[in-house]
Structure formats: C-alpha cells, structure tokens
Amino acid sequence: MSLFPNTSRSPVTQMKTIGLIGGISWQSSIEYYRLLNELVNRRLGGLHSAKLLIFSIEFGKFSEEERLAGKGNWTLLADTMIDAAQRLKAGGADFLIIASNCMNSRADDIESKVGIPVLRITDTTGARVNRSGIKTVALLGTKYTMEAPFYRDRLEQKYGLLVIIPNEAERDYINTVIFDELCAGKIRSESRKRFVEIINRIVKEDGAEGIILGCTEIPLLVKQKDVSVPVFDTMQIHAEAAVDFALGGDG
C-alpha cells in the first residue's frame, strides 16, 4: 500500500524543466516561484508542481554591474547573465526565463553562447496585448527598459503596437521607486498613488489604451483594481507562457 494517496486528477505529463534566472530582484523572483507552481498545479491538479531550477543572482553586486552597463560597459553584467544560464543548463534546464524585463535584453546573447532557448518576456507580453485587441500601450519599467530600443522596438516591429513611455521626470521617479523601494521590499501607498497619477495622465493626455507593467517589481505595487484601463502584468503573463511551454505548448 502506498504511503501517499493518489490525488492526481490528470495523467502524468512529460514536463520540461524551467530554468529561472532570478534575484533581479529576489522580491519578484519569489512571486515567479509561487506563480509557476500554482499554474502547473492548476493545470495538472493533485500534488503536481513545476519542474524548476533557480539561479538567484546576488543583487548587490549585480546592481553595481548595472551601473557600469548604464555607462556603456556591459562586460561584467553580460558575463554574470551567461554564467547563470550556463549553471542552469548544466543542471538540466530545458529552457530559460529571465525574471526581469530589462535583462531580457540579453536573451539573444544567452541563446547564442549557451545554446538553450530563452522564452522572452517581450514576446509573451506582445502576444498577450495583441490578443486583447489593444493597439496603443504605455510602457512602465526601469529607465533602461523604457528608454532603450530593445523592448519598444520589438513590440512595435513584431507586434504592431504603438508604445508610449512616461515623460522624463516620470521616468526618473518610476526608476527611483523600483530600485530604492520595490527591490528592497518597501511597498508604499504614496508611491502607488503617484504611479496611478502617472498612468492616468498618460491615458488622458497620450491616449494609452492599456498599461504594460514592464518591470517584474511593479505588480507588487500596482494592480488592475488601481486603474481603469487594462493592465498587462508581465510577470504573470511570462509565468503563464512558461508553464504552457513546459507542458508542451508553444509559449
């Protein structure tokens, strides 16, 4: 007699192993871990959970490397991302997800040097917005994500979207809250209020029909209930696509 009851409600599925590059920051990586397991359990039932490897980058050192990258020296940061990917591949990961919107800019480099597929958050987000029928979206994230071409260009060129970003003062404020508060686990009502004000201004003045929360920490602060237009939670969308891919879909 088995020591454990058979609580599975679905046949055994050949599940791919997800490799998660996390720690950028660990506050959102916790949510990724929860979501991936909950979503697999929702699909398979019983006691099923995700097959998952995590490499959590040490964010203190990484943030210093990000500052160097911001000045044009990407060497150390790129090496850190490649090292994380190689460790996950060696551990048996079948594909990778990067638990950070801005670091998905390194996906092409990782695939070419490590030889393992990367499920890009830009693509999972673009596909979801397309399915909604929305054509004009505002992108909120780190200054790098909002200002660099890797995110906006992919959404516009591959998915036909018009992407709006906040003004310079708003971008500075959003970036400060992300790094000084959300990455440190500080959720402040006054910051939420200001984010909502920024979103409402972009909707009213710039014509945004939806909002992409293009930083995996922002959903810790802003929820759909806080704003009147559709919100695209990139972490939730990314996790759902990863589970679909792991269970045999195309992401």
Overall average pLDDT of the 166-179 stretch:
96
Task: Determine the pLDDT at residue 11.
Answer: 46
Among the ranges given (67-76, 84-93, 169-178, 183-192), the one the predictor scored with the smallest mean pLDDT? 67-76
Closest CA to 53 of 246, 248, 215: 246
The token pair at 147 is: 């200002």
Task: Determine the pLDDT at residue 250.
Answer: 65
C-alpha angle with apex 212: 162 to 54, nearest 5 degrees?
Answer: 130
Instruction: Give the three-class secondary structure for 96.
Output: strand
Residue 73: how many other CB atoms lie within 10 Å: 12
Tell me: pLDDT of 144 over 50. Answer: yes
Overall average pLDDT of the 103-122 stretch:
94
Cβ neighbours of residue 174 closer than 8 Å, sequence gap 6 or more: 140, 141, 142, 143, 146, 166, 195, 198
Task: Determine the pLDDT at residue 62.
Answer: 82
Give me the percent of the chain exceeding a pLDDT of 90: 76
Tell me: pLDDT of 117 over 70. Answer: yes
**Residue 99 pLDDT class (50, 70, 90 cuts):** very high
Query: How high is the mean pLDDT of the chain?
Result: 91
What is the pairing mode between strands 52-56 and 136-140? unpaired
Task: Determine the pLDDT at residue 67.
Answer: 80
Overall average pLDDT of the 165-182 stretch:
95
Q: Which long-range contacts (CB under 8 A, 24 or more apart) does 37-46 make?
A: 39/239, 39/240, 39/243, 40/15, 40/243, 40/246, 40/247, 43/10, 43/243, 43/247, 44/8, 44/9, 44/10, 44/13, 44/247, 45/7, 45/8, 45/9, 45/10, 46/6, 46/7, 46/8, 46/9, 46/10
C-alpha angle with apex 170: 99 to 122, nearest 5 degrees?
Answer: 30
Tell me: pLDDT of 111 over 60. Answer: yes
Q: Please say whether the beta carbons of 52 and 21 come within 8 A.
A: no
Tell me: pLDDT of 49 over 90. Answer: yes
Task: Determine the pLDDT at residue 7.
Answer: 44
Closest CA to 215 of 27, 21, 20, 18: 27
**Residue 251 pLDDT class (50, 70, 90 cuts):** low
Overall average pLDDT of the 154-177 stretch:
96
**Residue 138 pLDDT class (50, 70, 90 cuts):** very high
Who wins on pLDDT, 251 or 74?
A: 74
pTM, to two decimals: 0.89
Task: Determine the pLDDT at residue 13.
Answer: 60
Q: Please say whether the beta carbons of 21 and 87 come within 8 A.
A: no
C-alpha span between 237 and 120 (Å, rounded): 11
